[in-house]
Amino acid sequence: MKYDWIVVGGGITGIALSEILTREGKTVLLIEKKDKLAGETTRGFHEWIHTGSLYTLIPDNLFTLKFIVGAIDDLLDYYYSFSRMNLVPTESGLCIAGDSGWFQNNYIHFNYRLKGRKIFIPWLLMIARSEYLIERLGKHDWLRKRAGINEHFKVDRKEIIGKNFMSLLFNQETFHKVKTTDFTVHSRLLLRDILTTAIHNNLEVSLNDSLEKIETHNGLKQVTTEKGTFKAKNVVLCTGKKIAKYVNARVKTTFAPIAVVEGLSEDENSFVNLDYYTKNCVNVLTKGKGLGLVGGISLDKKEKCDEYLDFVVREHRKTNPSLRVLERYIGEKDEIIIKNQNRNYLYHINRVPGMENVWTVIPGKFTLAFSLAPEFYRRVYKKNPRKFFKTYLDKGEFSDMVSETRWFDAAQKKA
């Protein structure tokens, strides 16, 4: 059978690209090496939707912040037809409508350490600038403004020093606490709705099927996998670090120690303790019913993970002695570094040199997949995908094709 597209790799990127292509009437085959989709990176991490708050600490002339804001614009524009897409744009910030949709009223709080850090003036200035920008994110006009417009986020140094910095200087608390604009997502609900819609639009999925080679025959791509040979006009590789060999890139792997915990109070906020010394940063993202994920930073060496996670658990038990660890594991993050391209937490879409109609796609964060997919369509077809179309809710018929999160599986084992 001949397809318009073969998508290799069934993570969040492969699912999002498959849906955007089938939305436009393209015939698509999605190939995944495992027995479940979204079974690697998105399974293990925090389900954190980035609206830009974390990147207010990066001194990059607001480049990443504006990129993330633009990604949210695409999410609002191109996924609004889904009935469980409950993120609503307003003239002053984003609104999450109800608790039964994709996104949760579980906002992430930043606790910036002040105790013992007052002598580090650059740290206080970073905090002051971060709080200033987060306040503006909370007032951002999502109805009209776009990420390319700088004025709304332009830093007023006099205001930062006169107001934010001075208040920090005289603050006697251990932490300065700020509620951010970032929040969490029901990632499996979102992915299953998108997959269900794509399958109703004639997506075909081949699980337990690994890519072996790509060749060109008579102007078509011939893709050989464990299960057979398929032909397509185009191929897109969404296979993480394995795409490095196609685009002459190197892979940098970092390790994120994470623990699934129970015993949190029901009114516990999701938070990140941020410190001048990165090794002291810890977080907890709550999952309801006393469950949560704790961790904090990524490390260059795997052997450092146990020591750091022991530290994180001890820190949390200082304020919550009843905290119990259900499971510990190490999440791996593979960063593909391409010459002359600024990774910087962003996504990349590239043609494979010497292979016509073969693309590689690298996501930066879960949040970006819903900007990456329409942008990919724009680059290939030179037009925008449709915004209004018929969607389908996951009612269980395809649920088993998408993996559960690691924290959910740990909670089920305990139950």
Q: Which CATH superfamily is domain 2-46+187-248+339-414 in?
A: FAD/NAD(P)-binding domain (3.50.50.60)
Beta strand 28-31 with 204-206 is parallel
Residue 217 pairs with which residues in a beta bridge?
Answer: 220
Pick the CATH number of 250-337 from 2.60.40, 2.40.70, 3.40.50, 3.30.70: 3.30.70
Collapsed DSSP state (helix, strand, coil) of residue 371: helix
Ordered per-residue pLDDT tens for the chain, 415 residues: 799 999 999 999 999 999 999 999 999 999 999 999 999 889 999 999 999 999 999 888 888 898 899 999 999 999 999 999 999 999 999 999 988 999 999 999 999 999 999 999 999 999 999 999 999 999 999 998 776 666 778 888 888 888 889 999 999 999 999 999 999 999 999 999 999 999 999 999 999 999 999 999 999 999 999 999 999 999 999 998 888 888 888 888 899 999 999 999 988 999 999 999 999 999 999 999 999 999 989 999 999 999 999 999 999 999 999 999 999 999 988 888 877 776 656 888 999 999 999 999 988 889 999 999 999 999 999 999 999 999 999 999 999 999 999 999 999 998 7
The C-alpha angle 51, 57, 62, rounded to 5 degrees, equals: 65
The pLDDT value recorded for residue 164 is 87
**Predicted structure pTM score:** 0.94
What's the distance, Cα to Cα, between the start and end of the chain in Å?
Answer: 45
The pLDDT value recorded for residue 241 is 87
Beta strand 87-90 with 93-96 is antiparallel
CA 69, CA 139: separation in Å to the nearest integer?
13
The C-alpha angle 114, 134, 46, rounded to 5 degrees, equals: 85
Q: Which two tokens stand for residue 47?
A: 């389900």
The pLDDT value recorded for residue 32 is 97
CA 305, CA 373: separation in Å to the nearest integer?
34
The pLDDT value recorded for residue 149 is 64
The pLDDT value recorded for residue 177 is 96
Locate the domains of the chain by residue range.
2-46+187-248+339-414, 250-337
CA 246, CA 415: separation in Å to the nearest integer?
44
Q: Are 316 and 284 in contact (CB under 8 A)?
A: yes
CA 222, CA 232: separation in Å to the nearest integer?
7
